């Protein structure tokens, strides 16, 4: 078992990564807790947890529409009926959708009770379950309501990934490719458990330095500005990590337009993204004007278009990136896809 600490003063916790390690769960739960609310989905109901406590399963549905305040209310009311108090504990057993809801429920139930995450997707193991951002969607947009609420432990059992569909794995790979560029390490050289643990450690280090995203935590959005725009534009049938993968290549093209990196480093982005089994090209038929408008609207845009860009000193947050540069990089992407 690999133990990765997330150092956050009195909110510090460990992320455990290993194969078939679910039996470690009882030791991660607060001693005083006599009940556990396992928030999960029907598809994952077969995963047995031995918590050593009275266990109540609360099922939530599939898809982003279920990540809602209505779901949070329903889960909290179920917990009241079952007699949950502030001494009890929530377990989020599922992908990022489940851990976001479970974390938010834990943050607001009786003004806050402990939560332990057991992520079951690659994306949740390396990203969503770590770092304490929790929340739900509104009809007006994703993740608009939420709270920072750190888990008291995270248990990543990589045996759970055996059943994960290929598209969902691709989604986690997109975040892994992102970490690859944040530190410049060859993560693909590591066996899976170590690679996941290394991604967790990279995220933990960034979160520990900037828990509430005053600045540096925004680096975790590398590849996400175009990625989000492609997802919102919708029609392209891309999983989050696939959109991020294309976004990483695009961010490299933007950095190249600004002469922050050379053509060889752009090519390296393409090679690494491909090595993770992910797409590097814009989907055919994208409307550049629409993507530019969506990027300008991205919630990370504080001061002109803000972009996370590679450069001589590594990946940094760059403000006021000009539209001309963004257009030029889209044109480069188009030309490369056409092989010219
Ligand atoms: N809080 C954060 O920091 C953070 C970071 C990144 C993403 N997120 C959120 O995470 C969510 C996406 O998470 P996701 O990509 O894990 O998707 P998801 O949670 O929707 O899971 C994808 C699908 O895989 C299924 N599944 C989960 N585990 C499985 C397994 N072991 N075997 C077979 N099927 C399995 C789920 O039932 C679901 O149908 C989004 O809502 C996003 O906003 C949050
Ligand atoms: Zn992401």
Give the model confidence (pLDDT) of 189-214 as tens digits.
Answer: 999 999 999 999 999 999 999 999 88
92's enclosing H/E stretch is strand 89-94
Residue of 49, 68, 97 to test ligand 1 pocket, by largest number of atoms within 8 Å of CB: 97
pLDDT at 147 over 70: yes
CA 263–ligand 2 middle distance (angstroms): 25
* Percentage of residues in the chain having pLDDT higher than 90: 91
Residue-level pLDDT at 302: 47
H-helix segments, 51-191: 69-81, 96-108, 122-123, 166-183
- Residue 299 annotated to the active site: no
pLDDT at 112 over 70: yes
Q: Taking residues 126-140, what's their average pLDDT?
A: 96
Instruction: Kindly name the residue from 180, 217, 239, 256 that is annotated as catalytic.
Output: 217
Residue-level pLDDT at 236: 75
Identify the band that residue 299 occupies on the pLDDT scale cut at 50, 70 and 90.
low
Q: What's the CA gap between 28 and 43, in Å, rounded?
A: 24
* Percentage of residues in the chain having pLDDT higher than 70: 98
Identify the band that residue 304 occupies on the pLDDT scale cut at 50, 70 and 90.
low
Residue-level pLDDT at 298: 65
Contact partners, residue 82, CB within 8 Å, separation at least 6 = 35, 37, 56
Q: Taking residues 81-100, what's their average pLDDT?
A: 98
Q: Taking residues 22-51, what's their average pLDDT?
A: 96
- Residue 228 annotated to the active site: yes
Residue 269, token pair as written in the block? 């982005």
Say what the pTM is.
Answer: 0.95
CA 128–ligand 1 middle distance (angstroms): 8
256's enclosing H/E stretch is helix 240-257
Instruction: Kindly name the residue from 203, 239, 269, 332 that is annotated as catalytic.
Output: 203
Question: Between these two residues, 246 and 305, which has the higher pLDDT value?
Answer: 246
> Are residues 230 and 284 in contact, defined by beta-carbon separation less than 8 angstroms?
no
Identify the band that residue 20 occupies on the pLDDT scale cut at 50, 70 and 90.
very high
């Amino acid at each position: 078992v690999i133990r990765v600490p997330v150092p956050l003063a009195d909110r510090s916790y460990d992320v455990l990564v290993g194969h078939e390690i679910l039996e470690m769960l009882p030791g991660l739960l607060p001693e005083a807790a006599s009940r556990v609310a396992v928030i999960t989905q029907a598809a994952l109901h077969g995963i047995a947890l031995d918590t050593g406590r009275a266990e109540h399963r609360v099922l939530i549905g599939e898809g982003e529409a279920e990540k809602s305040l209505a779901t949070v209310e329903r889960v909290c009311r179920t917990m009241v009926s079952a007699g949950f108090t502030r001494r009890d504990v929530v377990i989020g057993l599922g992908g990022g959708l489940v851990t976001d809801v479970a974390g938010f429920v834990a943050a607001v139930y009786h003004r806050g009770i402990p939560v332990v995450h057991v992520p079951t997707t690659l994306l949740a193991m390396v990203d969503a379950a770590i770092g304490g951002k929790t929340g739900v969607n509104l009809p007006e947009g994703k993740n608009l309501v939420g709270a920072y609420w750190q888990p008291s432990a995270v248990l990543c059992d990589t045996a759970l990934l055996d059943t994960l569909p290929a598209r969902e794995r691709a989604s986690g790979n997109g975040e892994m490719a992102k970490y690859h560029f944040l530190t410049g390490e060859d993560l693909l050289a590591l066996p899976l458990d170590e690679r996941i643990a290394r991604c967790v450690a990279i995220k933990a280090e960034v979160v520990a330095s900037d828990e509430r995203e005053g600045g540096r935590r925004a680096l975790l959005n590398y590849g996400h500005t175009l990625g989000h725009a492609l997802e919102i534009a919708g029609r392209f049938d891309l999983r989050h990590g696939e959109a991020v993968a294309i976004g990483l290549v695009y961010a490299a093209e933007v950095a190249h337009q600004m002469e922050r990196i050379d053509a060889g480093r752009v090519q390296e982005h393409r090679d690494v993204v491909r090595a993770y089994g992910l797409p590097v090209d814009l989907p055919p038929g994208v409307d550049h004007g629409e993507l530019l408008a969506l990027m300008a609207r991205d919630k990370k845009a504080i001061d002109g278009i803000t972009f996370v860009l590679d450069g001589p000193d590594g990946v940094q947050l760059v403000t006021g990136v000009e539209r001309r540069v963004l257009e030029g990089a889209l044109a480069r992407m188009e030309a490369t896809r056409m092989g010219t």
